[in-house]
């Protein structure tokens, strides 16, 4: 028996490859499935089942493509009602993979169909729990994502989650290994550990959700402090439930190399959004006007989903040479399949064609500290509220990046201001977005608050509630 966790950091997502005696199972595969097929061929095993813990909201799973390419049936737990052929397992139903057994544990609460899979080894001993979004390390799945489809409140679902944990999971032995679907950084929970594997016994000791005195306390703790889910989540759920375009087709379309004239024509005729995936440093020095910078080295796909929102939005890509396929792949993982192609030769070809370019006025933290006047100047901090509350520049306004679609109109086009995040990644996204909206009167601080904190500018944890006034 072999268990391999295939962890994708940019999505904080864990897929699982399990083999025993010539057979394999895949749990919660990513959109691009060829690596699983290649791995099975290398190990000389047959993929027998594709298990899904639930209809994922934060990424598009590869279950359909993997099933079509291998013939392995897709398995969901009770209450799932996909619009494609699948095995809907009963609670407690068992599946054989070689010499091991995988048992279905229906654990509703995160969603109504949420299911954990308990692996029993060759001797029939409980060995590992693939807990999906029901149980994370340090947390449990948020209970507010299934409200519309289940016609239930988040409190109702949290109560169901409490029952699932206490009846199905906590009674398991302490030495059972927990393999969750997500880790720290995922929007599917709020308090996840950076570790991605643990024993159930340790989780029983330290996981706050497993240590509540009663159901009422559990519901209160689990629902407290939940931030709104990213806007693309419902679309991903629908794709995972209804079906989607083959990844091979998406990749073929996205890998169209467009020369400058073709790229320009596509912008004018399709209303496509230009996403420039280059580093913040390269982008700031020159970019195609109205392009949005969401750099590949970072949480690229989740930020696209949070800010673009509509997965059907046509997209044109500007990348560094050799990064085209990675960009298309990562976009497809969160359901952005309408990628029209990429600029052949990248930004340099646009520049060499003498086309119009734009820049971002990026300054160092030292320059910012030298010229910023607290009494009169405006600074916009686009970090999360929790980051801002811990410490920020005196009189800074907190306008989180994920809410930029709601607050950009508060900023006038005349009075200048400064813009920063923690390190520069998010503030450059914000800078590009503001420029796309016709707001150019700002300076973006390179290195963000991490660099600003090393200057002598006064800092505070006092929250400035006032809105930015239009000039």
**326, pLDDT greater than 90:** yes
Q: What is the pLDDT of residue 339?
A: 97
Question: Counting Cβ atoms within 10 Å, is residue 16 exposed (0-12), middle (13-18) or buried (19+)?
Answer: buried
Nearest Cα to Cα of residue 209 among 230, 224, 197? 224
CA distance 324 to 337: 14
Taking the CA atoms of the chain, what radius of gyration do you get in angstroms?
24
DSSP state of 73: P
Quickly tell me which residue has 């001797």 as its tokens: 123
Query: How does residue 126 score in pLDDT terms, banded at 50, 70 and 90?
Result: very high
How does pLDDT run across 218-271, given as a tens digit for each residue?
999 999 988 888 889 999 999 999 999 999 999 999 999 999 999 999 999 998
Q: What is the pLDDT of residue 462?
A: 63
Cα end-to-end span (Å), the chain:
66
Query: How does residue 460 score in pLDDT terms, banded at 50, 70 and 90?
Result: confident
**164: its two tokens:** 């699932």
Phi/psi at 87 (nearest 5 deg)?
A: -85, 120
For residue 357, the Cα-to-chain-centroid distance in whole angstroms is: 31
Q: What is the pLDDT of residue 331?
A: 97
Beta bridge partners of 409: none
How does pLDDT run across 128-170, given as a tens digit for each residue?
999 999 999 999 999 988 755 456 899 999 999 999 999 999 9
pLDDT > 90 in the chain, percent: 87
**26, pLDDT greater than 90:** yes
Q: What is the pLDDT of residue 466?
A: 47
Q: What is the pLDDT of residue 117?
A: 98
Mean pLDDT confidence for 449-470:
75
Query: How does residue 79 score in pLDDT terms, banded at 50, 70 and 90?
Result: very high
Nearest Cα to Cα of residue 284 among 163, 419, 378, 380? 419
Q: What is the pLDDT of residue 227?
A: 83
Mean pLDDT confidence for 325-345:
97
Nearest Cα to Cα of residue 296 among 274, 272, 275, 267? 275
Vertex 106 angle, CA 102 and 109, to 5°: 140
Q: What is the pLDDT of residue 445?
A: 98
| Helix (H/G/I), strand (E/B), else coil: 462 | coil
Q: What is the pLDDT of residue 467?
A: 47
Query: How does residue 120 score in pLDDT terms, banded at 50, 70 and 90?
Result: very high
Quickly tell me which residue has 């994370």 as its tokens: 136
Q: What is the pLDDT of residue 375?
A: 80
Quickly tell me which residue has 């590869």 as its tokens: 62
Q: What is the pLDDT of residue 35?
A: 94
**111: its two tokens:** 């969603």
Q: What is the pLDDT of residue 42?
A: 96
Mean pLDDT of the chain, nearest integer: 94
Mean pLDDT confidence for 445-470:
79
Mean pLDDT confidence for 272-277:
98
Q: What is the pLDDT of residue 56?
A: 96
CA distance 300 to 310: 16
Which of 90-94, 309-313, 342-346 shows the lowest mean pLDDT across its residues? 309-313
Beta bridge partners of 358: 287
Interhelix angle 34-43/63-70, rounded to 10 degrees, is: 40
How does pLDDT run across 282-298, given as a tens digit for each residue?
999 999 999 999 999 88
Phi/psi at 207 (nearest 5 deg)?
A: -75, 115
Q: What is the pLDDT of residue 229?
A: 87
Q: What is the pLDDT of residue 301?
A: 93
Q: Which domains does the chain have, with CATH numbers?
A: 2-235 (3.60.15.10), 245-352 (3.40.250.10), 362-460 (3.40.250.10)
**45: its two tokens:** 């095993």
**Which residues are CB-contacts of 180 (< 8 A; sequence separation ≥ 6)?**
14, 131, 132, 133, 135, 136, 137, 192, 196
For residue 321, the Cα-to-chain-centroid distance in whole angstroms is: 25
How does pLDDT run across 369-424, given as a tens digit for each residue?
999 988 889 999 999 998 999 999 998 999 999 999 989 988 876 789 999 999 99
């Amino acid at each position: 028996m072999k268990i391999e966790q295939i962890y994708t950091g940019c999505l904080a997502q864990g897929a699982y490859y399990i083999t025993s005696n010539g057979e394999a199972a895949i749990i919660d595969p990513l959109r691009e499935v060829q690596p699983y097929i290649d791995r099975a061929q290398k190990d000389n095993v047959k993929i027998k089942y594709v298990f899904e813990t639930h209809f994922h909201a934060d990424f598009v799973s590869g279950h359909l493509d993997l099933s079509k390419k291998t013939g392995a049936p897709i398995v969901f737990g009770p209450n799932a009602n996909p619009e494609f052929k699948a095995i809907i397992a009963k609670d407690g139903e068992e599946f054989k993979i070689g010499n091991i057994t995988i048992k279905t544990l229906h654990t509703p609460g995160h969603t109504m169909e949420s299911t954990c899979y308990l692996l029993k080894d060759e001797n029939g001993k409980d060995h590992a729990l693939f807990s999906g979004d029901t149980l994370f390390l340090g947390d449990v799945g948020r209970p507010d994502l299934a409200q519309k489809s289940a016609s239930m409140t988040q409190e109702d679902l949290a109560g169901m989650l409490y029952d699932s944990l206490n009846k199905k999971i906590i009674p398991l032995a302490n030495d059972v290994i927990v393999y969750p679907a997500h880790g720290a950084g995922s929007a599917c929970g709020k308090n996840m550990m950076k570790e991605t594997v643990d024993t159930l016994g340790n989780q029983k000791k330290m996981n706050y959700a497993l240590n509540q005195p009663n159901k009422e306390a559990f519901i209160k703790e689990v629902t407290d402090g939940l931030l709104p889910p990213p806007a693309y989540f419902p679309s991903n759920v629908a794709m995972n439930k209804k079906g989607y375009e083959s990844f091979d087709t998406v990749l073929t379309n996205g890998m169209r190399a467009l020369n400058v004239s073709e790229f320009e024509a596509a912008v004018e005729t399709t209303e496509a959004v230009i996403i420039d995936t280059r580093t913040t440093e390269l982008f700031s020095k020159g970019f195609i006007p109205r392009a949005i910078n969401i750099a590949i080295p970072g949480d690229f796909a989740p930020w696209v989903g949070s800010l673009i929102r509509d997965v059907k939005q046509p997209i044109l890509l500007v990348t560094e040479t050799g990064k085209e396929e990675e960009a298309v792949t990562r976009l497809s993982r969160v359901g952005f399949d309408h990628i029209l192609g990429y600029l052949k030769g990248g930004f340099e070809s646009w520049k060499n064609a003498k086309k119009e370019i734009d820049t971002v006025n990026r300054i160092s933290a030292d320059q910012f500290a030298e010229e910023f006047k607290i009494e009169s100047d405006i600074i916009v901090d686009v970090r999360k509220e929790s980051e801002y509350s811990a410490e920020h520049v005196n009189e800074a306004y907190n306008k989180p990046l994920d809410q930029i679609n709601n607050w950009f109109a508060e900023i006038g086009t005349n009075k200048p201001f400064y813009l920063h995040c923690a390190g520069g990644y998010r503030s450059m996204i914000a800078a590009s977005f503001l420029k796309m909206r016709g707001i150019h009167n700002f300076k973006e601080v390179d290195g963000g608050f991490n660099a600003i904190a090393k200057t002598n500018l006064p800092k505070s944890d006092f929250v400035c509630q006032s809105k930015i006034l239009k000039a």
